[in-house]
Structure 1
């Protein structure tokens, strides 16, 4: 006789518990190609400093192509979780100026984050839920109810690595539209700060210094960002207070 558990396990149900390997192989291949081809060697302030006149001249002569190349590079870096996103942000500020670079960073980073979100959901969602099961249901429901607020907080305050914040919402069933809006809006302040630092790289290079990457954690910068994060949590806190009042 067939065991009861086996009777409920249809082929379709069993297939849902599998990991879809192709997207993961593509990601792994992209990361390997980046390091094998020496991509990390180009992500240095020395390279930018030594070639800045040529890079600035080429950008001025081929502005549209430079913008498209920058957005694509940022998209790839985020989607494949490659190192160098901060370096790209500073370079963007150096090449395009604070405001323009902020816009290009946000577009490229959001596109890359959406890409890895979709791949993670397709490749890992069913397997993850099959393994975790009921233990995740309460957490998933709570996150989904106030997903936009949580997404904004996670994007505004750099507590967790960017790649981790890309993956977790995909595994918790967050809507793509909510994830995209939260990512787009939430990364604007940080992008603006790094782009503004990058816009001053010319003076930093002339003085023989390196940029202070800890500037985003200085009180005058991090305090307003935390304030925005707290503001994003107001709907969640209000809802919880309202529920307690009814109890």
Structure 2
């Protein structure tokens, strides 16, 4: 059996980073209490060193999302708490999309070939549908925060979706949720848990927005089919 050295190196690097994250308990820094306690110091650093603060935050956010580590929600709140609504939204929007795309590409490079080889026949019809309408499904998933962020990245990497499509649909689809979380970060003192940010009504609204493109697509297809049948009579 031929071993792909690049795949082995990537897997080893990822395992080392995971080991460092959990072994050093770095996750303790990615919680609401720690963010609140350090907010003044972080804002002070941003005021004194804006370029370094922006670059450091951006790289850290990309790393967290690319490795599918827990903490993206806290990082997004931090964007609002440190940089404010507009700069925070801009940073989070691009950092989260870059990180998601890296996770998507890693999943594709490491696992897609094996999955396709083992389940290719069963996945053929699914891949055909995703190739045709995957952007609509991805947009709907991005708008519903109930679906884990990292799961979408990894699963979509196993599909034939183009990387460019994944990127722009993710950036547009995640924008509404990004604004909500970053805005909440600007009011950090009032928040006692991340769960308070997304109310059932807001979740329902996102779900409806996400389903609209799919519903519209279905209606258009049915109209086209009906018109075709009429033309054949």
Whole-Å separation in 1 of the counterparts to 2:167 and 2:155:
14
Q: Which of 153, 168, 182 is the equivalent residue of 1:195?
A: 182
CA distance in 2: counterparts of 1:53 and 1:159, whole angstroms: 31
Asked whether the 8 Å contact 2:104–2:154 carries over to 1, the reply is: yes
The normalised TM-score by structure 1 is: 0.84
Tell me which residue corresponds to 1:229. 210
Unaligned runs of 5+ in 1: 1-13
Give matches, 1:1-40, under 5 Å: 20-40=7-27
Q: Does 1:217 align with 2:167?
A: no
Contact kept? 2:145, 2:203, Cα under 8 Å = no
In the alignment, what sits opposite 2:166?
Answer: 179
| Corresponding position of 2:94 | 107
Q: How does 1:1-247 map to 2 (within 5 A)?
A: 20-201=7-188, 203-204=189-190, 210-219=192-201, 221-242=202-223, 244-245=225-226, 246=228
May I ask how many residue pairs the two structures share in their alignment?
Answer: 228
Provide the secondary structure at the position in 2 that maps to 1:75. helix
**Paired residue for 1:6?**
none
**CA displacement 1:94-143 (0-9 Å, x = unmatched):** 11112221111111111111111111111111111000021100011001
Instruction: Provide Cα deviations, 1:199-235, integer angstroms capped at 9, x if missing partner.
Output: 001x43xxxx62452322331x234322321232245
> The residue matched to 1:197 in structure 2 has which SS?
helix
User: What CA distance in whole angstroms lies between the structure 1 residues aligned with 2:56 and 2:218?
Assistant: 42
Secondary structure at the counterpart of residue 81 of structure 1: coil
Alignment RMSD, CA only? Answer: 2.4
CA contact (8 A) 1:59 1:66 kept: yes
Contact residue 27 and residue 80 of structure 1 kept, 8 A: yes
Unaligned 5+ runs, structure 2: none
- Shift of the 189–160 alpha-carbon distance from structure 1 to 2, 3 Å rule, reads same
User: Is the radius of gyration larger for structure 1 or structure 2?
Assistant: 1
Q: TM-score with structure 2 length normalisation?
A: 0.88
Is the CA contact (8 Å cut-off) linking 2:79 and 2:185 kept in structure 1? yes
**CA apart distance, 1:38:** 2.4
Is the CA contact 2:139–2:170 (under 8 Å) kept in the aligned structure 1?
A: yes
Q: Following the alignment from structure 2 to structure 1, what is the Cα–Cα distance between the partners of residues 195 and 222?
A: 39
Shift of 1:15: 6.0
